[in-house]
Copies of this chain bind each other. A is one copy, B any other.
Amino acid sequence: MPETNRPLVISAPAPRTLELIFTPAALMRLHERYRVVEADADDIAGLGADILAGARYIIGQPPLSEETLGGMPALRAVLNVESNLVNNMPYEVLFQRGIHVVTTGQVFAEPVAEMGLAMALNLARGIVDADLAFREGRELWGGEGNRSARLLSGSEIGIIGFGDLGKALNRVLSGFRAKIRVHDPWLPASMLREAGVEPAPLATVLAESDFVFVVAAVTSENEGFLGAEAFAAMRRGAAFILLSRAGVVDFDALVAAVESGHILAASDVFPEEPLPLDHPLRRLPGFLRSAHRAGALDVAFKRMGEMVLEDMDLMDRGLPPMRCKRAERETVARMRSRPVSVN
């Protein structure tokens, strides 16, 4: 296609790179279909009036002033290749103009769900410590080694939050004949029932589960909402698995609850990352650690590029984006996740 006919895309995916989120083949398709202008995320305005005037899409979430946006009449979407929405552009203006702001965090749902299931099975069967004991010649054979072992099959499972990640978790749990209760105040009960899960208040999810998965985004309303009281309400020996953001949990209370032997726990996220070398979580028995690596698989990043291409194709045809998740006027301001600094 001649240069001038290809729609113009501003590329500012930092801290991602196009190479991270597109396979070589997808990157080639991107360039075939679009005129891609690489931009310094911190100086979109510096691209000049012509570029701004012609731009149809922005890949990334660079800071955008109202004035800059004013010079971008052709803009249809900001395709944020993170899971977070940073408060660095006038969302209200974007919504008014019908410019979509979409995120690609869905790509992490599947890898994180698999890690969550792995964590649950590990806690249920004590796999890490059993392997370590075996390496050291201290292993217990057969039933001897299963004093506290448990099945997921037929268990009661609670999921807190039922966005993409909660749904992916529900899917990988589908072969376990478990009773799954979900707490998500942002979704109507009937939609949870249609997904085959039982809607339940938070207190029920905590008190009636053998495994509790926390996959809720952190918002202005739920920071630290899972603390000492929540852990005390859990069944003795139940497993608490944190997969979304550290901000929703009071970690001191979590350490105490695990230390006391009341619950087991696993987490992929931590109040500080990296965690200080002397942090008690590093050596806490009954706790399984993952260094924020549940989602960050190359295959997940590469799906971001596919999603971006699929939604730009729909928008090129005058249709709304269906693949990525759209930011919502009502909730965009409530999101409290920190921006990613590493991939």
- Inter-subunit contact A298/B143 (CB<8 Å): yes
Check: A256 CB closer than 8 A to any chain B CB: no
Does A132 interact with chain B (Cβ within 8 Å)? yes
Q: Are A132 and B132 in contact, with the CB atoms below 8 A?
A: yes
Which chain B positions have C-beta within 8 A of A298?
A: 143, 146
Alpha-carbon distance between A306 and B231 when the two chains are bound, in angstroms: 34
A293 close to B146 (CB less than 8 A): yes
- Chain B residues, CB < 8 A from A139: 274, 289, 291
Q: Which residues of B contact A175 (CB under 8 A)?
A: 171-175
**Which residues of chain B are within 8 angstroms of A323 by Cβ–Cβ distance?**
188, 190-191
Is residue A225 contacting chain B, with contact meaning CB distance below 8 A?
no
Using a CB–CB cutoff of 8 Å, the interface residues on chain A facing chain B are 95-98, 110-111, 114-115, 117-119, 121-122, 124-125, 127-128, 130-132, 134-135, 137, 139-146, 149-153, 171-177, 185-191, 196, 273-274, 277, 282-283, 288-293, 296-299, 301, 306-307, 310-311, 313-315, 317-320, 322-323, 328-331, 342-343
A185 and B313 alpha carbons, distance in the complex (Å): 10
Contact (A151, B190) CB under 8 Å given A130-B290, A282-B137:
no
CB-based closest 3 A-B pairs: A188-B310, A118-B121, A174-B175
Q: For A314, give the chain B residue with the smallest CB separation.
A: B188
Asked if B307 and A141 make an inter-chain contact with CB atoms under 8 angstroms apart, the answer reads: no
Task: For residue A105, give the distance in angstroms from its CB to the closest CB of chain B.
Answer: 14
Report yes or no: B328 in contact with A320, Cβ–Cβ below 8 A: yes
Q: How far is the CA of A186 from the CA of B145 in the complex (A)?
A: 33
Contacts of A317 in B (CB 8 A): 185
The interface residues of chain B lying within 8 Å CB-to-CB of A191 are 322-323
- The residues of B that contact A320 with a CB separation of less than 8 Å are 328-331
Q: Whole-angstrom distance between the alpha carbons of A153 and B110 in the complex? A: 7
* Docked-complex contact B98 and A98, CB < 8 angstroms: no
Give Cα distance in the complex from A127 to B122, angstroms.
9
Question: Closest CB of chain B to A91's CB: distance in Å?
Answer: 11
A259 and B118 alpha carbons, distance in the complex (Å): 25
Query: In the complex the two chains form, is A289's CB within 8 Å of B130's CB?
Result: yes
Is the CB–CB distance between A343 and B142 below 8 Å? yes
A127 touches which of B134, B172, B185, B290 (Cβ 8 Å): B290
Which partner residue on chain B sits nearest A301 by CB separation? B143
**Which of B96, B111, B125, B297 touches A118 (beta carbons < 8 Å)?**
B125
Q: How far is the CA of A132 from the CA of B122 in the complex (A)?
A: 14
